[in-house]
Structure 1
Amino acid sequence: MASTDLDDKRMSHEVNSPEHSVQGTEPTGTLELPNSWKYKRLRLFGFQFPWYASPPVQLVIVSFVCFMCPGMFNALNGMGGGGQLDSTANSKANTALYSTFAVVGFFAGTFTNKLGIRTALSFGGVGYSIYVASYLCYNHTQNIGFTTFAGALLGVCAGLLWCAQGAIMMSYPPEASKGRYISWFWMIFNLGAVIGSLIPLGQNIHKESGGVVSDGTYVGFLILTIIGAVLSWTLVDANAVIRHDGSKVIVMKHPSWKSEILGLFETFKTDPYIIALFPMFLASNWFYAYHFTEINGAYFNVRTRALNGVVYYTMQIVGAYVFGFALDIKGIRRTVRAKVAWAALFAVIMIVWGCGYKFQKTYTRAWATDKANVDLKKDWTDDGFAGPFVLYMFYGFSDAAWQTCVYWYMGSLTNNGRKLANFAGFYKGIQSAGGAITWAMDDGGISYTSMFASNWALLAGSLLVALPVILWKVEDTVSIEKDIAFTDETIAEVAPKAHVAAPGELSEKV
């Protein structure tokens, strides 16, 4: 492969030896950055912050976009029934949402690579705003058609948003930090759901009976989702991002619709083993209908549902922190960490859902959907509240553990941003297909016991199917040659990994 001249936006490096070509290591010489505001480092209170176009800053921005948009969506759905006493509108809206999400999400990598990160994220944020507005409307008009349409539209928008987010989270960080980056994102994102859940908790804290949240709750969510959509435009293009070791993200030089569509199918040709992770993808949203509607919405009253939402997402922060940082433990080979993480995740699933089985035997759908029992729903002052409350907390913990591990496994297979956008698209598309199925099952009146059984079986079974990939495809590091072999049109912007430059020299391998 030959080297090419770069424009004035490329960096130059002074490094002592080729030993520092491993991604994620600090160069021993001076890293010279382009003369632009994007690469100015701010020093405040004795602490030097990363430059704006660095992976940590970009990750924080996309985390707060998700804090405002999907975070508020999670808080709204986490109350059970979208905050409504009758969950019919919420189930129909989410069935429509995940149905369109499943189709768009599967191909979202193609659209995101072509349209760009900012456009995809902003478009996604608008969808969340319309979805929240439909519930505000439903409070007054009972217009189930609008909520269903808003759900279908959000599926299209969210497919692009989550694909862009996944590509950033998995391709921007160096290999040695991917677990921490995933956990940082998941903690900030779920902090949005925690704060979002505090809104209905504060507004309904004295509301011991009834099941519908106030207009103010929906208005608060609507304002925050609009802010999130606007915030996405503060991101920089992927080809402007420079890591702390001087390497850049592997991106397409001039992507076309044809190249992106062909690249989507090329992924199956170069990485067919990704299909073995599809059951894990499917399982990753399968449990939300059960958690939110068939436990929280069915068993608890309105103020307790809000409290449960707070602790559910707080435990997601804890789970993301524990698993994310454990996945990046230094001194232990990545292949070993991958196997240990699998075993730990399997143990968490078996313990938490094993306890859930005992709890599920205590109530039925017939009892939960009988409006005469609305004042009998469990309140935090009632005897016997503690057990289900703690169980619900650990359902949140296990959710974060699952999502963190799935993202980390995908990120350990490649560093190629284009390929990871496709992986993220597959993940969100298949994940959403699972969500569509379970919300439709809930709308169809499936027994709570049957829904519980489908969750536990899919979670455990998908881990077994994915095990060969984890054992044989996760490597300690992925070579640049392997990553850029994905397509001849890719520019591997990875200096100094691709090239050790002499002082003042501007070059990189292509």
Structure 2
Amino acid sequence: MGLKRADLRLNHPFIQNLIAGLMLLCLPGIYLALTGLGAGGGKPSSQAVAANVNAILYGVFFITGWFAGSVMNLIGPNYTVFLGSIGYSLYTGGLWYFDRSGHSWLAYLGGGIEGVSAALLWASAGAIAYSYAEEKDKALFMTIQWCMCEGGSTIAALVALGINIHSARQDAGAPTPVYVVFVVIQVLAMVLALTLLVRPAKVVRSDGTKIAIFKQPSLKSELEGIVEMIKDYRFMMLLPAIFVAEMALALQSSLNGYYFNLRTRSLNNVMFNFIQLPASFGMTYILDNPRFGRRKTRALIGISVMSAVTLAICAAEAAWLAQHHLNRHEAGPSTDWTDPGFAGAFVIYIIYGSVYSIYQIATQYVICALTNDPERLARRASCFRGTTALGMMFSFIIDGNGGTYITQLSFQFACYFVGILFLYTVTVLYVGDTNYFHEDTVIVPKHIEDDARLDGRIAAAASGAGGGGEEASSVDGKETVVAGDKSVV
């Protein structure tokens, strides 16, 4: 999509999406960098506590995730993201304190609070990406946010690599300056959230239209909205696919912390995050490109590419684990990037980075193909993150309780297989060419309306063209009213 100078304003959809991406860069971007280092950035002996903290985090995230979208609808993205920022600095500080003192209480407390914070943050970011974008840009908006988040992880990982590059010790944790820099960045994000994000009702597209007609939500209406979401069998069918979406991070971060020394973990972390940038844009090229056919066809192609990579790398890792017979109850091999055992594990690790991104983008694209309603999408965005958190919780529980790596991988593979089957089913049965003109709260972009009129899908009967009057029309036999920045079906 091209931006004109007039579009460079705070309330433009693209700019708001960039700001949401900036929040992800500063907050979960750093969290992912710490997680990717293994053991929460601490010594390998910290792995069990880091896994248990993450299990608590994702358990709380799951519970609050199903309701965070309603909080966003009630108080707006700026306050929701502000509240969602608080837990990240506590989490980072808690792991820092534990690594230095051996006292784990602050790490556990920070993990629990971040579970609530993460739900609020991701609900807001997801709602912005899902609903501010036009249908033709859905994957692009999601990818921009994702790449900014992973860009933050890559930068944070590069900082850690720069500090740790001369440390070949296996028993070393990330030094204090790494944690200090991360906490400062996370605190600054809280201020930016309050000053730069605007309410959805104030967002205006390039053509002057708003994204939807908003009514003042209430607690009752939001509870009814959650019930409506649960009754939506199309979305419920996607829950198995959503459940496994982030699971790769838990297993790979654990293996990274166990198998490699600190500087090699740092290098792997950089590459795991970096590979997601081209992988994400590659998936977006398929999903948003009309040259690949209609929306359903593009979604099926994207899912097929994602499925092939995902299942193949699971099989490759199973073969690698069978060959190396790793036992997490024994000391790790402390593999360095100069050692012969580095290459195979490194390739598997970074390919999982691409799976981590393209699986989520493909799944979210299907979610967005079911509705354009901003309030519904806010609830579904938070439910997406809450349900992925449940999958992560299970994976971290297996990890923290000493389950074998092959057991953890087998569970993950089974979840991927079932999830992909449901993704295909929902796409084939329920994804259509467009949801425009079929939802009474969504304002149709002017160029879409003009194209529909030229194609004969809108039979205009109208009055008061041009001067801000209303224009009555019929869309596929359904009465439509278009008035200024409103379009009601």
Cα 1:418/1:141, change in 2 over 3 Å = same
- In the alignment, what sits opposite 1:53? 11
Q: Alpha-carbon deviation of 1:450?
A: 0.4
Which of the numbers 216, 233, 248 marks the counterpart of 1:254?
Answer: 216
Aligned residue among 206, 210, 219 for 1:244: 206
Match of 1:483 in 2: 439
State how far apart, in whole Å, the 2-side matches of 1:244 and 1:335 are: 27
* Residue 445 (1) aligns with residue 402 (2): yes
| TM-score w.r.t. length of structure 1 | 0.85
* Contact 1:69/1:128 (8 A) holds in 2: yes
For residues 154-195 of structure 1, give each alpha carbon's deviation from its aligned partner in whole angstroms, at most 9, with x where no partner exists.
001111110111110010011111111222221111000000
Query: What is the DSSP-based 3-state SS (H/G/I as helix, E as strand, rest coil) of the residue aligned with 1:503?
Result: coil
> 2:4 and 2:360 mapped to 1: Cα distance?
33
Letter paired with 1:265: V
- Give the Cα–Cα distance (whole angstroms) in 1 for the partners of residues 122 and 213 of structure 2: 18
Amino acid at match of 2:351: F
The structural deviation recorded for 1:152 is 0.7
SS in 1 for 2:238: helix
Which structure 1 segments of 5+ residues have no match? 1-23, 27-40, 485-490
- Which residue number in structure 2 is paired with residue 324 of structure 1? 284
**Distance of 2:386 and 2:241 partners within structure 1:** 12
Q: Structure 2 matches for 1:274-353, cutoff 5 A?
A: 274-293=235-254, 295-331=255-291, 332-353=293-314
How has the CA–CA distance of structure 1 residues 413 and 60 changed in structure 2, closer, same or farther, with 3 Å as cutoff? same
1:173 and 2:129 correspond: no
Aligned length: 455
TM-aligned CA distance change 1:215 to 1:362, over 3 Å:
farther
Partner Cα distance (1:42, 1:273) in 2: 38
Q: Residues 131 and 251 (structure 1 numbering): CA distance in 2 closer, same or farther, change over 3 Å?
A: farther
How many angstroms apart in 2 are the aligned matches of 1:362 and 1:218? 36
1:203 corresponds in structure 2 to 163
Deviations 1:414-442 (A, max 9, x none): 11111111111221111111111111111
Distance, in Å, in 1 between the alignment partners of 2:190 and 2:320 is 40
- Describe how 1:94-243 pairs up with structure 2 within 5 A: 94-209=54-169, 210-233=171-194, 234-243=196-205
The whole-number CA distance in structure 1 between the counterparts of 2:122 and 2:140 is: 19
Residue number in structure 1 paired with 2:377: 420
Q: Is the CA contact 1:54–1:243 (under 8 Å) kept in the aligned structure 2?
A: yes
Larger RCO: Structure 1 or Structure 2 (Cα < 8 Å, ≥ 6 residues apart)?
1
What does residue 14 of structure 1 align with?
Answer: none
> Residue 304 of structure 2 aligns to a residue in which SS?
helix
Q: Measure the CA separation in 1 of the matches of 2:16 and 2:111.
A: 28
* CA distance in structure 2 between the aligned counterparts of 1:351 and 1:170, rounded to whole angstroms: 30
1:380 is paired with a residue of what secondary structure?
A: coil
1:262, CA displacement in angstroms?
0.7
Is the contact between residue 96 and residue 176 of structure 2 (CA under 8 Å) also seen in structure 1?
A: yes
Alignment of 1:76-91 (within 5 A): 76-84=34-42, 85-86=44-45, 87-91=47-51
Identity %: 29
Contact 1:364/1:448 (CA < 8 Å) preserved in 2? no
Q: CA deviation at 1:287?
A: 2.3
CA contact 1:238–1:251 (8 Å) conserved in 2: no
What are the superposed Cα offsets for residues 279-300 of structure 1, whole Å, 9 maximum, x if unpaired? 111001222220101x211111
- Runs of 4 or more, structure 1, over 6 Å off, are 497-501
Pick aligned residue for 2:320 from 348, 359, 364: 359
Question: Following TM superposition, by how much is the alpha carbon of 1:365 offset from its aligned partner in structure 2, in angstroms?
Answer: 5.1
Q: Secondary structure at the match of 1:413?
A: coil
2:461 matches 1:505: no
Structure 2 residue ranges without an equivalent (≥5): 450-459, 470-482
Which residue number in structure 2 is paired with residue 407 of structure 1?
A: 364
Query: Structure 1 residue 495: deviation in Å?
Result: 6.1
Q: Check whether the contact 2:363–2:423 (CA below 8 A) recurs between aligned residues.
A: no
